Homo-oligomer: A and B are copies of this chain.
Amino acid sequence: MGATVTSRVFDLLGAFDAGHRSLTLSALARRAGLPLATAHRLVADLRRCGALDRRPDGEYVIGRRLWDLGLLAPMRTGLRQAASPFLHDLYGATLATVHLAVRDGAEALYIDRLAGHVSVPIVSDVGSRLPLHATGVGKVLLAHAPDDVVAAALARLTRITPYTVTEPARLLAQVRRIRAEGYATTGEEMSLGACSVAVPVRGPADEVVAALGIVVPTLRRERPKLVAALQVAAQGISRTLARS
């Protein structure tokens, strides 16, 4: 690996993740695999650039500059904008947490999320990546992914809760059903006490560009209603995407 300053800078920044939003200098250096003195200097530079902030307690956090820059990334901006109003509609109709995700390699990347007042235990957040086999949106994305991705996913089905599907054959059957019926469901497979329903969002050429899902405490017999609401919203998003 080339030891350019740029790569070191991103090694440092990469030390932050969802579970480590603030770090001490030494933790930063340790996680980035850099000598303390080097980390110290780079961190000082980054702070001068506004990329890192130092909180009163001495720990470092990602700074405003990076927040600004991140918002400029073309992360499906069009998709997010097109979907936004429909997510609200869905929330209004179901009062459930609503998710919009795309497939990023072998993971589902959540690009928008809309949570209500009372929420089921939910792990996802905007920007987080979750496996394809244990969530509603994940299964939808998996069902419409290229064969090699499906194969790779089936190869390692990690158990997350007692209800997570870990037998390849069973997941494959689900994938087939999802393709046929047009929606996916999960029952506490990612998080206990949380069930989900999800449908694909299609682009102009009918290809699946994203998945739209909601999370509810229990499916009971609301499933048909939820599926219908999701499909209406998904079609609305597709229509909005088409004209732009």
Contacts and interface: CB of A to CB of B under 8 A. Distances in A.
Interface in A68-97: 68-75, 81, 84-85, 88, 91-92
A6 B64 contact: no
A173 interface: no
A45 interface: yes
Nearest to A43: B6
Each complex incorporates copies of this chain amounting to 2
A62 B66 contact: no
A50, A51, A66, A91 — most chain B CB neighbours (10 Å): A66
A18 interface: yes
Interface in A4-30: 4-7, 9-10, 13, 16-18, 21-22
Given A6-B9, A88-B88, A16 B72 contact: yes
A47 B126 CA distance: 23
A65 B85 CA distance: 27
B84 A73 contact: no
B66 A69 contact: yes
Contacts of A73: 61-64, 66-67, 70
A201 B54 CA distance: 26
B69 A4 contact: no
A16 B5 CA distance: 21
Interface of A: 2, 4-7, 9-10, 13, 16-18, 21-22, 42, 45-46, 48-51, 61-75, 81, 84-85, 88, 91-92, 104, 114-117, 125-127
9 contacts: A4-B5, A6-B48, A6-B49, A10-B51, A16-B69, A66-B70, A67-B70, A70-B73, A85-B115
Given A16-B72, A68-B70, 6 more contacts: A5-B9, A9-B9, A9-B49, A61-B73, A64-B73, A67-B70
